Amino acid sequence: MRVLSVNKFVSALCALGLGAVLATSVQAATDNDKIIERIKPVGSVCVVGDDSCGGAAAASTGSAGRSGEDVYTTSCAACHGTGVLDAPKFGTSDWTDRSAKGIETLLTHAIDGINAMPPRGTCASCSDDELKSAIEHMIDSAK
Ligand code: HEC
């Protein structure tokens, strides 16, 4: 009888203890969530074509297209406007010379980058078509 009551007492203690541990770990989990929420990065990078974060949408609206002039002004003019690092300069015969390579070659070089020309002219969100329009806009400027 006495043994039984001690057992009861012990199991009651265990139940209490276990309850406390459970309560603590649940509490810890919510605390962790809060901490993760607080320290998560302000922004995240979404690569074109990654549809888990809207990248596909960006790519599809991208191909619908900004004009060559828009893309040029936003992404290419910084270098091509003044000929920084010997970039073929807008509105000059530089582009007549380059266009001799053919638009497909120029496009490939614009996509992959060439020498000091960075891949996609740093416009990660530009579709191939938009890059092509921007190149045509620069080629036209030479005429
Ligand atoms: C950081 C400066 C910079 C930016 C920004 C830039 N370019 Fe260039 N680009 C260059 C330089 C430098 C060259 C010359 C590379 C060479 O032939 O050595 C060049 C060359 C080119 C060529 C000629 C490639 C060839 O085969 O002769 C094309 C086409 C081109 N750029 C397209 C673009 C387009 C389109 C953009 C905007 C989306 C852009 N660039 C943005 C620096 C830049």
Residue 46: inside a domain: no
Distance 65 CA to ligand 1 centre (A): 20
Residues 33 and 72 in one domain: no
Average model confidence (pLDDT) across the chain: 80
pLDDT value, residue 58: 47
pLDDT value, residue 28: 64
pLDDT value, residue 40: 74
Residue of 100 and 39 predicted with greater confidence: 100
Residues 86 and 130 in one domain: yes
- Which atom of ligand 1 has the smallest separation from the CA of 86? 12
pLDDT value, residue 125: 95
Residues 62 and 30 in one domain: no
Residue 45: inside a domain: no
Residue 85: inside a domain: yes
C-alpha gyration radius of the chain: 31
Residues 33 and 89 in one domain: no
Q: 4: domain range?
A: 1-40
pTM score above 0.85: no
Task: In whole angstroms, give the CA distance from residue 74 to residue 8.
Answer: 77
Task: In whole angstroms, give the CA distance from residue 53 to residue 48.
Answer: 9
C-alpha closest to that of 71 among 118, 137, 119:
137
Choosing from 76, 94, 117, 130 the residue with most ligand 1 atoms within 8 A of its CB, the one to mutate for a pocket test is: 117
Tens digit of pLDDT for each residue in 52-103? 666 554 444 444 689 999 999 999 999 999 999 999 999 999 999 999 999 9
Domains of the chain: total = 2
pLDDT value, residue 3: 55
